Amino acid sequence: LEKISGLEMSYKNGFTQLVKAVEERGLNENLGVQNTFRKAAHTFEESVRKYPVKNGMVTYLTIRRNEKDYMLRGTEKYIKRLNGNLDKLREAILASSNPSSKKLEYAGLLKHYRSEFSKMVALDGQIKSLLNEVKASADAGLETAEALRVYEEALAADVAESIANRASTSIRITI
């Protein structure tokens, strides 16, 4: 029973942490890190439109596609592609004919976008890890409960057999 109690506590703690991480990420696009990331993406897009650079919009749209692919599939290769395209766009920004002040602003917005994306990726990893911990606690609890049920059935069978043997002995003694 102590083991089940410990597993229950582990499950509750893990679930509470999981809820916090999911809420921090954002339950929809208007909450949490999802919201700040979305705003960073839109602000960055405005700069791409306002201060054109060579292949800027194409690269930006490719970055957004990488982002969507990551969100759908959750694999590392899309994070690498996104970061590679961000680096490519950063180089194009710095090489552009835009005024230095605009280049710095533009590069700062790109950096903010990358930072918010990284926060979301980190939270996704944390959520995945916590979900695995909660599942492991639940599975261990179910295994322990099943072992306890089997033990109780065996004990009940032993008690029933013992009672039957005593009843049989009592009947022989009285005859």
What is d(CA 154, CA 152) in angstroms, rounded to the nearest whole number?
Answer: 5
- What digits encode the pLDDT tens for the residues 97-148? 989 998 999 899 999 999 999 999 999 999 999 999 999 999 998 898 888 8
Q: What is the DSSP letter of 27?
A: S
Predicted confidence (pLDDT) per residue in 28-55, tens digit: 999 999 999 999 999 999 988 888 888 8
Residue 17 has a pLDDT of 97
Q: What is the pLDDT of residue 158?
A: 87
The two structure tokens encoding residue 14: 């893990």
Tell me the two tokens of residue 8: 């229950």
pLDDT classification of 166: cutoffs 50, 70, 90: confident
CA triple 19-70-50, angle to 5 deg: 105
Cα separation of 65 and 23, whole Å?
Answer: 25
| 125 vs 1: which has the higher pLDDT | 125
Provide long-range contacts, Cβ within 8 A and 24+ apart, for 143-146: 144/3, 144/4, 144/7, 145/4
Rounded CA separation 54/15 (Å): 48
Residue 149 DSSP label: H
Q: 144: burial class by Cβ within 10 Å (0-12, 13-18, 19+)?
A: middle
Return d(Cα 37, Cα 29) in angstroms, integer.
9
Q: Return d(Cα 124, Cα 126) in angstroms, integer.
A: 5
Q: What is the pLDDT of residue 65?
A: 97
